[in-house]
Each structure stands twice: as C-alpha cells, then as structure tokens.
C-alpha cells in the first residue's frame, strides 16, 4: 500500500470519527483496516463477523460517504473478515459488497455471538440497564456560560422535577456540535434525577436503544422491552442522529408518543436540530420539534477557561502536587478553541507529562505538549442554507431558483457550485445534499461536484469565485 493511500485512510478515519463520535468510533471502527484500494472500490477488513454485519447494517452509507469525501470516484466498499494470519494468507471469506442502500439496513443481524467482551453483545444482556454513566459527568462539574445557559437551566429543571409534577416541555431536545457538552449534560440529568430514588431516569445512547431493541426482538421479548421502557419516568437518549433503520425508528416513535402522552419526560441530544435529522420521518421530527429545542453554542473563552479549571481541580483530587499556573491556563483557553474533549485531553497530557518527568507545568512544556490540539482557526459548522444564500447572492439569482427545476445556464452553474461547496464544506452525504436541493437524486449532486472539480482546474475565473465563496462562508 502506498503512503498516500495510508494518508488518505487516516483522513477517512478522521472523518468517520468526527461524524460518529469517539465512542461509536471506538466500538465499531477502531479495528477496521484498509486492505486495498482498487479503481472504484475500497477493500476494508474487520476481525469478526459480528463487526462486519453490524457495520454493514448500520454504517455502510456513512463509511462510503467518508471515502467519497476524500475520493469521489469510490463507489463501493468491500468489507471482509480478516483471519488471524492474514499476512501469510489472504482473507478466507470472499468480501461482500456493502452497497449504500437503504434496503440493506436493519435486516442484517449480528451473526457472531463469540464477539469479544467489549462489543455491545455483552451489554445486550442488560438491554434496559441503560448505557454506562461516567461518574465525573455531573452538574457539579458542568461549567455554565453563555453558550449553554438555557440548556443547563432546562436540564436542571428536568432533573429537579418530582414524580407527578406537570411536565413543562416535552421533549427537551438539546443540539450542539461534537464536544460541546451534550453527553455531560444528559448524564448529569441522569445522575441527579436518580439521586432521590423516587424516579427512574434511564440514559440510553441511540445505539443502545437500537441494539436493545434488535436484541429484544431476536429473543422475542419485545413486549417486555417496551413495557420496561414505558415504566420509567425520564428517558434520556443521547446521539439521536445515529438512530437508523425503519423498524427501530417506528419503535422509537411509539415509545416517544407513549411516554409523552403518559406525561413522562423525554430528553434528547443530537448533533443537529430536529429539522436536519433527515432520515427520520416527518411526524417524528415535528414531535421532536414540538417540545423545547435548545442549541448549545461553541464554547467561549471564559467557558473554556472554566472547564480547564474544573478539570485541573478534579485531577488534583488524586494528584495533589499537580498544578497548572494561570498563564498556562490562559494560553490553553485561548488556543484550544475546538471542543471540550481537546481541553480535557490537554489537561491529561500535562498531568501525564509532569508526573512521568516529575516536573512542574510550564508554558514551554504546555506549548510543546498540546501543539497538535491547537488549531489555527476554529472550523466553523457551515450550513447548506448559508451556502445557498451566499451563492445565490454572488450570482444574482434567488435561493428558490437554486432549488427549482429550471435548467437555464444562469441557474445551472450556480446550482452546481452550491452543491460542490455543500459537498466540500460540510459532512453531508450526497443523498442528503440532493434532498436539500429541491429533492434531487444523489447522482445529480455527484455530477455537479465532478463538473466543478474539473472546471476549477481550468477556469481561473471560476476558481477565484469558488475560493472567494469559500472564504465568505468560512469567516
């Protein structure tokens, strides 16, 4: 395998990691290897059949679109199970094509029950025990600032409610980008809500909801699963954007309705607003949007400083000699702008470094240790609507022209440019982009992307226009 293939693979993995989140990534993709890239297909391998069928059933499209973001020509992902001695012998099992088609989702069932202990198979025995909670993620360690005041207040309200209290807003729906504190806040609600022993608060990741349901169906205890779910006071679901598969969604919809109608509280977090959960059906989306929808913004510098201080304080509970001087904290808060995870990572590194080398933390050391977490500029989450607006203005057409079926040259080119920007500046998949451009097919989007890619290489005017648009959108 060439170096450039390896590099590309790392970038694809990076994309996957940021779309699915650290936890999902670690559960399902950490042991996925690149075997070969050939023309339009990419050959990947995983160590167990269980992983293979799960990835095929739930992530085929996502894996494909992450590859396409790096290599638009890729059309097919072959996934195989690698044998222990794959250096000596090629993988035994013939690779099975993972086609990014809806029909395939949901029906593949995990086949290998001998999967290693850490996979969710083990967890399935306890489908309703909830997902594991991190004892550090409580209200006490949650720092409140401008970015999250409302979300925090609403979460507190839910956590402090008592059985039988009227529900003020239902569901509470919190959305924010990666690492901005969604999981922290949801787990805080769970800890606090369960503390009195009066109410039962159940925290489930969408993955766990799906897996619990699939497993329950398999063992034919679906009824028990539903009953148990309906017997709780507050249902907390994290990372709803991962809820996939028709039957799971139908079940989610029933559960949601049953709980809300019975006056039970539902709390949900996702990385986007309900209107952008494109795979969910309209009724579910409007039900989700019908409660209180709160966005948590990117962490401001004050909030970042607060989080760093709370992390240092937590570390000092176990390592009394650990200290991070004020100027170092200021430096970190100013330069690590991306997300809460990186802030936590920075403190962990400083702690490790100072422990291992038995040295105090200095600015010099901090600069060296966290260099890779410092990003020159905070990548902004760009929305497809913004792209359409900016492109429409630039070319003096209306946004509805871009979404219309008109095919005159003065709209066709701007539309293609807008689709191209949507593909390159957002993580949205081709089918999603097609839908957002007046319900077009993904092949139309792909055609537009390729067309503009080819043109910017030759046409300097167009190239300048596209660059200017990118700058406008990224500032």
- Give residue for tokens 């650990």: 322
Q: Strand 41-46 vs strand 33-38: parallel, antiparallel, or unpaired?
A: antiparallel
Q: Is-contact 146 297, C-beta < 8 A? A: yes
Shortest reach from residue 340's CB to Mg ion, in Å: 10
Show contacts of 272-278: CB within 8 Å, 24+ apart.
272/175, 272/241, 273/173, 273/175, 274/173, 277/240, 277/241, 278/432, 278/435
Shortest CA distance to 266 belongs to which of 182, 167, 175, 188? Answer: 167
Give residue number: closest CB to ligand ADP.
340
Does 19 help bind Mg ion (rule: CB under 5 A)? Answer: no
Please give the residue ranges that form the binding site for ligand ADP (CB under 6 A). Answer: 137, 141-143, 148, 176, 178-184, 307, 310, 340-341, 344
306 is in an annotated binding site: no
Does 183 participate in binding Mg ion (rule CB under 5 A)? yes
CA angle centred on 292, ends 212 and 166, rounded to 5°: 85
Cα 8 to Cα 5: distance, rounded to the nearest angstrom = 5
- The nearest distance, CB 107 to Mg ion, in angstroms, is 28
Residue 247, beta-bridge partner list: none
> Which of Mg ion, ligand ADP, none sits in contact with 193, Cβ below 5 to 8 A by type?
none
Q: Which does 367 bind (CB under 5 to 8 A by kind): ligand ADP, Mg ion, none?
A: none
Q: How far is the CB of 271 from Mg ion (least distance, A)?
A: 8
**Whether the Cβ atoms of residue 232 and residue 267 lie closer than 8 Å to each other:** no
Site string for Mg ion, 72-111 (x = CB under 5 A): ----------------------------------------
Crossing angle for the helix pair 340-357 and 301-318, to the nearest 10 degrees: 40
DSSP 29: I
Give CA separation, 380 vs 16, 33, 281, 334, in Å.
Answer: 18, 30, 28, 17
Asked whether the bond before 171 is cis by omega within 30 degrees of 0, the reply is yes
Q: Which is nearer to ligand ADP, 249 or 310 (CB)?
A: 310
Q: How far is the CB of 171 from Mg ion (least distance, A)?
A: 17
Residue 60, binding choice from Mg ion, ligand ADP, none, Cβ under 5 to 8 Å by partner class: none
- When the beta carbons of 343 and 390 are compared against ligand ADP, the nearer one is 343
For residue 238, give the H/E element and its range.
strand 234-238
CB of 336 to ligand ADP, least distance (A): 11
Closer of 121 and 155 to ligand ADP (Cβ): 155
CA distance 64 to 446: 13
Size of the site for Mg ion (CB under 5 A): 2
Among ligand ADP, Mg ion, none, residue 143 binds (CB under 5-8 Å by kind): ligand ADP
148 is a contact residue toward Mg ion (CB under 5 A): no
CA atoms within 13 A on the CB side of 131: 23
- The most distant pair of C-alpha atoms in the chain lies apart, rounded to whole Å, by 70
Whether 193 has a binding-site annotation, put simply, is: no
Cβ distance to ligand ADP smaller for residue 141 or 424: 141
- Taking the complex as a whole, how short is the minimal distance between the CB of residue 219 and ligand ADP, in angstroms? 31
Binder of residue 181, out of Mg ion, ligand ADP, none (CB less than 5 to 8 A by kind): ligand ADP
Query: Least Å distance between CB 4 and ligand ADP?
Result: 31
d(CA 282, CA 50): 32
For residue 226, say whether it is annotated as part of any ligand binding site: no
Report what 184 binds from ligand ADP, Mg ion, none; CB cut-off 5-8 Å by kind: ligand ADP
Residue 161 or 345: the one with the smaller Cβ distance to ligand ADP is: 345
Closest contact distance (angstroms) between CB of 142 and Mg ion is 13
Q: Which range binds Mg ion by CB under 5 A, 45-53, 74-82, 183-191, 214-222?
A: 183-191
**Annotated binding-site residue? 246:** no
344 binds, among Mg ion, ligand ADP, none (CB under 5 to 8 A by kind): ligand ADP
Taking the C-alpha atoms of residue 90 and residue 289, their distance in angstroms, rounded to an integer, is 50
As annotated, the binding site for ATP includes 179, 181-183
Binding site for Mg ion (CB under 5 A): 182-183
Summarize the annotated binding site as residue ranges: 179, 181-183
């Amino acid at each position: 395998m060439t170096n450039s293939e390896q590099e590309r693979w790392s970038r694809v993995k990076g994309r996957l990691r940021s779309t699915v989140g650290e936890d999902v990534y670690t559960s399902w993709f950490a042991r996925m290897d690149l075997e070969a890239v050939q023309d339009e297909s990419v050959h990947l391998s995983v160590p167990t059949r269980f992983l293979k069928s799960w990835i095929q059933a739930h992530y085929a499209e996502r894996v494909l679109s992450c590859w396409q973001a790096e290599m638009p020509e890729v059309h097919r992902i072959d996934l195989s199970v690698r044998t222990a001695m794959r250096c000596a012998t090629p993988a035994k099992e013939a690779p099975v094509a993972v086609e990014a088609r809806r029909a395939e989702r949901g029906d593949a069932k995990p086949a290998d029950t001998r999967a290693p202990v850490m996979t969710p198979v083990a967890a399935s025995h306890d489908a309703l025990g909830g997902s594991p909670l991190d004892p550090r993620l409580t209200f006490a360690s949650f720092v409140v600032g401008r970015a999250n005041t409302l979300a925090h207040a609403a979460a507190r309200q839910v956590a402090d409610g008592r059985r039988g209290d009227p529900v003020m807003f239902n569901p509470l729906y919190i959305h924010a980008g990666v690492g901005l504190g969604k999981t922290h806040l949801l787990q805080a609600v769970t800890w606090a809500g369960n503390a009195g022993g009066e109410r039962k608060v159940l925290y489930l990741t969408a993955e766990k909801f799906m897996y619990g349901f699939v497993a329950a169906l398999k063992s034919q205890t679906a009824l028990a699963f539903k009953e148990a779910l309906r017997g709780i006071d507050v249902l907390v679901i994290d990372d709803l954007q991962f809820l996939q598969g028709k039957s799971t969604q139908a079940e989610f919809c029933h559960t949601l309705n049953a709980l809300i109608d019975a006056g039970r509280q539902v709390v949900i977090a996702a990385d986007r607003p309900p209107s952008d959960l494109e795979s969910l059906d309209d009724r579910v989306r409007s039900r989700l949007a019908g409660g209180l929808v709160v966005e948590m913004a990117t962490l401001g510098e004050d909030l970042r400083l607060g989080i760093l201080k709370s992390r240092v304080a937590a570390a000092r509970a176990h390592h009394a000699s650990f200290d991070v001087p004020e100027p170092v904290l200021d430096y970190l808060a100013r330069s690590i702008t991306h997300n809460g995870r990186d802030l936590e990572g920075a403190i962990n590194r400083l702690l490790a470094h100072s422990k291992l080398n038995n040295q105090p933390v200095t600015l010099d050391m901090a600069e060296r240790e966290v260099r890779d977490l410092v990003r020159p500029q905070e990548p902004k989450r760009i929305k497809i609507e913004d792209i359409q607006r900016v492109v429409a203005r630039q070319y003096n057409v209306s946004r509805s022209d871009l979404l219309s079926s008109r095919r005159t040259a003065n709209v066709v080119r701007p539309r293609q440019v807008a689709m191209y920007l949507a593909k390159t500046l957002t993580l949205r998949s081709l089918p999603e982009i097609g839908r957002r451009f007046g319900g077009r097919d993904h092949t139309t989007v792909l055609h537009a992307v390729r067309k503009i890619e080819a043109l910017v290489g030759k046409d300097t005017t167009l190239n300048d226009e596209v660059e200017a648009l990118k700058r406008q959108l990224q500032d």
